[in-house]
Chain A
């Protein structure tokens, strides 16, 4: 806790540290979400095409 408080009071470095963490997790989140969106789309396409050709 003490470490965190001194970190909050370091006005010089806090913007650098926070912006790097934010950019990092934002990038990972975008990759994760876009992978899931693509998966959903492909699953739908797959079930559609299977139904179409099997009937």
Chain B
């Protein structure tokens, strides 16, 4: 099939119906593999002890909170320039998922911070910028739903997303630019990862699982949104 046909909502919906079961079952399969490795096959850390296991959900959630924003920013750009309806639909479906993953990042990070740092929350650059990301997601959801005409909501939410992209490099490199309590990157750096391979395996499987969970929820929300718009069109035609 032609990949470019996917830009038509109808073709996309057919395609998404076909891959949804694979994505959905895949996410559950990888989740169980990931859980098995994170509790049975990975050792405690030399310094943090057992609390290192929180990393296996905290880090994938944090990666996704940034990746989803990148997807939304690209869609917002396409929507503003080329007025493509599918871009708006994807952006609108992604916002609640991004907000959830950011929320998970903040909460698990907080629970991890208590036994390691000795504090639930500190106002250092990494934590603060991640909190701002959460507010941007919430703002996107509020803006896109607060207009009678959904097209107006889409447009304003897209502008908000493009403005908010300033926050992404700040989150990513905050640990290098400033003295933060949060530790620097272990994997996403030019050097070799500074995590032992036994701890890298559960992290890897959890990251795949979280990504598939994101995809499966996104597909559901996109097909819902396409139908909502079809209903609007039918209503306005009569």
Contact = CB atoms under 8 A, between A and B. Distances in A.
Main secondary structure of the interface of A (DSSP, over half): helix
Contacts of B50: 6-7, 10, 12-14, 17
Contacts of A35: 217, 220-221, 224
A7 B49 CA distance: 9
Given A20-B107, A28-B104, A36 B220 contact: yes
Given A6-B44, A10-B49, A35-B217, A20 B54 contact: yes
A39 B57 contact: no
Contacts, number: 97
Interface string B28-64: 0000000000011111100001110110011001000
A34 to B, nearest CB: 9
B115 interface: yes
Contacts of A45: 227, 231
A40 B40 CA distance: 38
Nearest to B100: A31
A42 B42 CA distance: 44
Given A10-B49, A28-B104, A49-B234, A17 B54 contact: yes
A39 B100 contact: no
B97 A31 contact: yes
Given A3-B39, A39-B220, A12 B115 contact: yes
Interface in B209-238: 213, 216-217, 220-221, 223-224, 227-228, 230-231, 234-235, 238
A3 B220 contact: no
A49 B235 CA distance: 8
A7 B104 contact: no
A24 B104 CA distance: 6
A1 B58 CA distance: 23
Given A6-B44, A50-B234, A17 B51 contact: yes
Contacts of A4: 39-40
B107 A23 contact: yes
A19 interface: yes
A24 B220 contact: no
Contacts of B205: none
Q: 8 nearest interchain CB pairs?
A: A13-B50, A20-B111, A20-B108, A10-B50, A39-B224, A35-B220, A13-B51, A42-B227
Given A12-B50, A42-B228, 10 more contacts: A3-B39, A3-B43, A10-B49, A23-B104, A27-B100, A38-B224, A42-B224, A42-B227, A46-B231, A53-B234
